[in-house]
Amino acid sequence: MGPVKPNHSGRWLWAAVVAAGLGLIVTSVTGRSEILQDLLAWASLGLAVIAIVLFTNEQSQREEDRLQGEGRLKLLQEDLERQRQNVDALGEGMDVAILVCDERATISYANRAAKEMFRTQDPAGRSLLAITLNYDLEQLALLAGRDRTEQNAELTFAYPTDRVGLAKAWSVESLPGRVFVTVVEITDLRRLERVRTDFVSNVSHELRTPLTLIRAMAETLLDDKGKDKELFERYLGKVIEEVDRLSGITSDLLTLSSAESNPVRKAPCDVVEVFSNVVNQFQSKAAEKELELTFEGPEHLVIEANTAQMTQVAINLVDNAINYTQAGSVKVSVSASEDEAMVTVADTGIGIPSDHHQRVFERFYRVDRGRSRTLGGTGLGLSIVKNIVESHGGEITVESALNRGSTFTVKLPLGASISEG
């Protein structure tokens, strides 16, 4: 708004009245000279007219100023409303939970993310503790309000689900009695960190075992200086076994890492061809254990997939089925429904207890560590399979009962290009 102008209009009105009055008085006093009388009358009239014109001018100027003031006020109000809408849109659109409370931690505003995070419809007027069921968060807000300091903490929320969040509470000098609280959810981040540390410690453990064995055997052979020929041959054979295990682990780790990090390059892939080829490759291994290894399916089933990765899935599943079956059969079958391809690998082997069904897909998880080790397993086969299947938009499940065999089922979306023969 511009500077306020002084109000002179009353003065001009008075000037007009005084000029007119003065004219009348002078006219009556100088009644004897007609010329003088006329001159004075005209002069007073002129003065009065000028004063009236000035008065009218000022009136219209004031009216103009008033209208301008009202216009500016309206603009300011509109601007204020736009800013409020911006803040609302920002608050509602952000994935960070934002809460505004008073100094006693009573909520006056909560954005969409906060309502979703704490599953509440209308938290305004309720206490922060009642909404979040988190005592530490309430203390953070109370402290920020009381000490006028910024408070930060990593908090664990148990309600409505287990979550980890980075909470911050602060207040602003110019807005007394108000405390702002934000919570950034970092549950996934912390989970990934845990997976990473578990993975590193698992890898170290897996590598250390064969390395320790190799070192112990090498030392024994060195001490013996080749005197015991039978020990020499046996230990060297074991060293080769452990080295093979190490290279198995490293190659599985590389496969897993490439399956996790590289985007899947898909092309038309005949799953029938992939699985029947792998079944053929494993015939001699199955025959060694006198197992019946069969394949059944249509002539072709083409889906959008990465053929190399599908071959890896087939190898890992068929290899496991043979490894963990002492007698009976391994049956691989491929079929298609309207929108997905289904592959099952069923064996009559040792089976998996039900409480291990989900865990067998975790990296390095084995039901029986000793047995897996004897069979040359790395504990990574099924996690590689799960990773590849899921990166193709599919899923893998297992049905199994102890000593009655296992059936692994892979379902894959057919994708754009499909032909069944």
Cβ closer to ligand ADP: 134 or 378? 378
Cβ closer to ligand ADP: 56 or 358? 358
The distance of closest approach from Cβ of residue 282 to ligand ADP in the complex, given in angstroms and rounded to an integer, is 13
Cβ closer to ligand ADP: 305 or 321? 321
Structure tokens at 389: 């299947």
Name residues whose C-beta falls within 8 Å of residue 242's C-beta, 6 or more positions apart in sequence.
210, 211, 213, 214, 217
Cβ closer to ligand ADP: 259 or 367? 367
The distance of closest approach from Cβ of residue 336 to ligand ADP in the complex, given in angstroms and rounded to an integer, is 24
User: What is the secondary structure of 326-373 as a DSSP string?
Assistant: SSSEEEEEEEE-SSEEEEEEEE-SS---GGGTTGGGSTT--SSHHHHH
What is the rounded CA–CA span in Å between residue 68 and residue 317? 82
**Which H or E element spans position 270?**
strand 267-270
Cβ closer to ligand ADP: 182 or 348? 348
What is the rounded CA–CA span in Å between residue 63 and residue 84? 32
β-bridge partners, 110: 99
Cβ closer to ligand ADP: 268 or 328? 328
The distance of closest approach from Cβ of residue 383 to ligand ADP in the complex, given in angstroms and rounded to an integer, is 6
> In what order do the strands lie in the sheet containing 340-347?
292-296, 329-336, 340-347, 405-413, 395-401
What is the rounded CA–CA span in Å between residue 177 and residue 106? 11
The distance of closest approach from Cβ of residue 351 to ligand ADP in the complex, given in angstroms and rounded to an integer, is 6
Cβ closer to ligand ADP: 182 or 255? 255
| Residue 126 φ/ψ, nearest 5 degrees | -100, 160
List interacting residues with ligand ADP (CB under 6 A): 316, 320-321, 324, 347, 349-352, 360, 365-368, 372, 377-383, 406
The distance of closest approach from Cβ of residue 320 to ligand ADP in the complex, given in angstroms and rounded to an integer, is 4
The distance of closest approach from Cβ of residue 255 to ligand ADP in the complex, given in angstroms and rounded to an integer, is 12
Would you say 113 and 97 are in contact if contact means Cβ atoms under 8 Å apart?
yes
What is the rounded CA–CA span in Å between residue 273 and residue 262? 24
Give the CA distances from residue 191 to residues 11, 128, 164, 182, in Å, rounded to whole numbers and listed in that order: 81, 26, 10, 21
The distance of closest approach from Cβ of residue 366 to ligand ADP in the complex, given in angstroms and rounded to an integer, is 3
Chain center to CA of 400: 35
Q: At what angle do helices 229-261 and 307-323 cross, to 10 degrees?
A: 140
Cβ closer to ligand ADP: 310 or 382? 382
The distance of closest approach from Cβ of residue 138 to ligand ADP in the complex, given in angstroms and rounded to an integer, is 46
| Residue 371 φ/ψ, nearest 5 degrees | -65, -45
Cβ closer to ligand ADP: 21 or 353? 353
The distance of closest approach from Cβ of residue 192 to ligand ADP in the complex, given in angstroms and rounded to an integer, is 21
Cβ closer to ligand ADP: 232 or 365? 365
Nearest residue to 323 (alpha-carbon basis) of 347, 342, 307, 344: 347
Cβ closer to ligand ADP: 297 or 379? 379
Structure tokens at 19: 């000029």
The distance of closest approach from Cβ of residue 202 to ligand ADP in the complex, given in angstroms and rounded to an integer, is 12
Structure tokens at 192: 């990934």
The distance of closest approach from Cβ of residue 286 to ligand ADP in the complex, given in angstroms and rounded to an integer, is 13
DSSP secondary-structure letter at 299?
S
